[in-house]
Structure formats: structure tokens, C-alpha cells
Amino acid sequence: MAVFSVFLTLATPALTFFFFLLIVAFLAYCLYVRHIHMKYDHIPGPPRDSFLLGHSPSFLRIMKNGGVVHDKFLEWAEKYGPVYRINGLHYVVVCVSSPEATKEILMSPKYPKDKFVYKKLFSLFGQRFLGNGLVTARDHEKWYKQRRIMDPAFSSVYLRGLMGTFNERAEKLMDKLADVADSKKEANMLHLVNCVTLDVIAKVAFGVDLDLLKNSSPFPKAIETCLKGMVYYLRDRFFQFNPKNRGYINEVREACRLLRTTGAQWIDERKTAMQNGDEVPKDILTQIIKTASQEDSMTEEDEEFMLDNFVTFFIAGQETTANQLAFCIMELGRHPDILEKAKKEVDDVIGMKHEISYDDLGKLVYLSQVLKETLRMYPTAPGTSRHIAEDIVIDGIHIPGGINALFNSYVSGRLDKFFKDPLRFDPDRFHPDASKPYYCYYPFSLGPRSCLGKNFAQMEAKVVMAKLLQRFDFTLVPEQTFDILDAGTLRPKSGVLCSLSHRDYKNK
């Protein structure tokens, strides 16, 4: 008892001093937050709901809830105008929907991707994820070196040669849908197109046959786990410190490891085959290795970049195209008149052919309009951000340097001032004779950092949709929701459930 009393006597001053330091640190942090916020107070935006920490209304809760965050941004854009600020603790972000500012900032290499988002994607919960690949590299020289290596693998000449694989994998989907139609079962179209797009990227990029419509694989689950983990990691700063989340965090780390170890294995096998003079597929991986080997020397860092881009292509090349296809099927199911018009064009251009050619794709003009309108309403990768180092004026508002600017294509695509009746699905907005949207439509971003795989994705989507429209009639299963889920990318929450039947060609 005496020892305990002595301990309390000695510990009490130390504890008192410790808590005093905590209070001083907290007050200093609050003063820092106030200083940062006052710097940007002149920019319109939602009022802060606390005096000390000063975050915007329910900001932290909104960022955790992916189902509403983009609609909230849209609401604020309509209320506060083309540039407004959001406060979140000591972070201030400027959200921009001004076409002129979008053009100036996204089209220029002067504005790097912001550190808060893209540096965090280097790893997930301590496990390397996208690293310094094409999407996440902030240094222009490092990015440009990678882009120069990757460009030949996405040239128009090379993409023409992929039509055979696009057709082959789309045919496997048609066979699966025929079985579903014959059995009178419901089809989860998001799941099925996910299988096909992952099959395509594995085959054309890495020469691997997954055949996910018949075989099981850990990759779809790993991709979904990584993307969901990415949302938690970016939007909930305290997620990793909650002991209840340890099990899930370990799942995310394991999923990252699976993708990277698989990539390392496939790359090493291909490099060995090429060094031995073996015949190798003329796919994207071969092209990347060949181009990279033409550099002065391949460093260990270059090897890591190659692996970073493997993970990037493996996820982005599958996920975004699959979601676009699912949203497209959903909207066609909701608009029978547009569906019939798209079918008629496919009948006129493709007829009964099973092999769609590259030249056929250029003739599917209305289908292109449908796919573009799908991306206007449902941009699968809905935003990007840039760091504004120096002072800038946007729509007459002075923006002090040192801030990050958020560009949200979901918001700009649904603003009345850019698109008349924006919540109406209308492919004629993208008719060849219609006026082009002025820097308010950018589902693949803009400028030098725009998506490298844009043409690849649109070719694949058009082949799959053309074959689907050619072979099947489909209707949406009643009572499903049309809600959007933000799981790193935007996807239909219901999965798009359809009833299918074979088309009757006798009356064509």
C-alpha cells in the first residue's frame, strides 16, 4: 500500500504535465486549423459546423458514405456555383466545375495530381498497391517515362489486332447468356460483364486465359477487396486504428499481395521466355517489356513501375468497362425506344455476322452515342484532383496557392447549365451534328494525364454491346433499385438483373 502511495505521488505530476501538453497540442492544432480556413474563407461553400475544428456539415460522415458523396457535391455545386470550398479539419479542398478552369488546369502538366489522394494510393494499409504507376505518379518526368513506354501498346494499329480477342471473349459471354435464356433464370449482368472484361484484360494484356464464365478465380474477389479497402483508406482516416477492422485490413493487404505476386510471376515468366527466344503472344505485356528494354538500362525502380502498372491495368482495364456496360444495359432496359433504335443500327451494320470488324465499330454511330451518354450520367471513375501551387483566379474568385482542386465529372455531367434536362438519358446529346460539350464532359479525364486505355475500353464495350443487342432481347427484373454504389468506382448497386430471351430473326 505504501509503495502504491509513493507511485501515485510520483506519477500524478507526470500525468498532469502529460495532459497539459495534450491540451496545449490540441489548442495549437485548432489555431492552425483556424489559420488555414481563414485563408480560404472568402470562397463560397457550406458553412462550418464547429468553431474550433471547422469541418463542413457532416463532411466526415459524407466522405465515409460513398452512396451519397457525389450527390452531395452536386447539391453544393448547384447552390454555391462553379467553385466552392469544403473544409475538413485542417484540409481545405476547392471543387471546380468551371469549364475554363477545367481546361486550363487539366490540360496542363503544370498542375500535378494532388498528394492527399494519389500519394495515399501508393499503398493500402502499409501494403504497396498502385505504387508510382501511370495513375498515381505525381512527378512529371517519372510519369512521362512510363507513358512513353506504354504508348505503343495502345496505338491504333495495335488495337486493331485485338479485335479477334474482343470477339472471342464476347462470344463466350453470348454462350453463357444463351444458357441463362434457355433456363429462364435471371442474369446478374454486372457480374457477367465483370467476368468478360477481366478475361479480356488478362488475355490481351498478359496472355493468360482465365475463362471466368466457367472457372473460379481469386482475382475478382481480390480486385473488389482492394477497391473497397481503397475507399475506406482514403475517406476514413481512423478506420485502420479501430481494432474491429483488423481482420478486414489483413484481407485488403492479402488481396494487394495476391495481385502483385501474380504480376511479378507473369512478368518474370514472359521475360524469361523472351530471353530464351521462345514464341510469345504479341500482347500488351510483350510490347511493354520490349519497349522498356530499349531504354538505356532497366533499374530495380523500373521493374517496380512495371509491376505497379500491371496492377493498375489489371484493375482499371476490367472494372471501369464492366461498370459502363452494366449501366448501359440498365439504361437501355429503362428506355425501350432507345433500345430498339440501337438494335436496328446493329442489325443494319452487323446483320448476322459473328465476327465484328474494326471498320464495323466506326459505323455503329448511335451505339457510340449511347455509350457516351452512359458515361455522362455514370462516369465510372467520377473524379480527379490537382494541386494548385500558385495563386489562381477562377470565375472571378481568387484562390490562394497551396490548395487541391477537385474535378468531378459526375457533377459536371449533371448540371443544368451544361446539359439540358441532365437527368434524362438522351444519346442524341452526342449526335455528330450536336454541339460538343465544352470541358464539362471528361469521363476519361483530360490532357496529358487522360486515360491511356480510353480507345481500348470503348472498342471492347462496343463489341460486347453490339453482340448482346444482336442476339438477345432483355428486360429489367421489376422492383430492383437503380441506385449507384461508390466502391472506388461507380457501379449499379443492384447488379442489373435481367430476364433474357433469344431474338426472333424470322420477323427481321
**Binding-site residues:** 451
The Cα angle at residue 234 between residues 450 and 47, in degrees rounded to 5 = 95
The 3-state secondary structure of 369-407 reads: HHHHHHHHHCCCCCEEEEEECCCEEECCEEECCCEEEEE
| Three-class SS state of 504 | coil
Grid cell for residue 181: 435464356
Q: What single DSSP character describes residue 47?
A: P
Region of 125 please: left (phi>0), alpha (psi -120 to 50) or beta.
left
Neighbouring-strand partners of residue 136: none
Q: What single DSSP character describes residue 413?
A: T
d(CA 270, CA 280): 7
- What angle do helix axes 454-471 and 300-334 make, rounded to 10 degrees? 30
**Which residues 6+ apart lie within 8 Å of 476 measured at CB?**
330, 333, 334, 496, 497, 498
Q: How many helices (H) and strands (E) does the chain have?
A: 18, 13
Match 434536362 to its residue by C-alpha cell.
421
Annotated binding-site residue numbers for heme: 451
Complete DSSP assignment for 308-370: HHHHHHHHHHHHHHHHHHHHHHHHHHH-HHHHHHHHHHHHHHTTT-SS--HHHHHH-HHHHHH
- The answer to whether 293 touches 275, Cβ cutoff 8 Å, is no
Match 464476347 to its residue by C-alpha cell.
170
Burial status of residue 467 (CB atoms within 10 A of its CB: 0-12, 13-18, 19 or more): buried
d(CA 190, CA 92): 36
Q: Report the length, in residues, of the chain.
A: 508
Q: What single DSSP character describes residue 55?
A: P
Neighbours of 505 (CB within 10 A): 10
Q: Between β-strands 403-408 and 91-96, what pairing exists: parallel, antiparallel or unpaired?
A: parallel
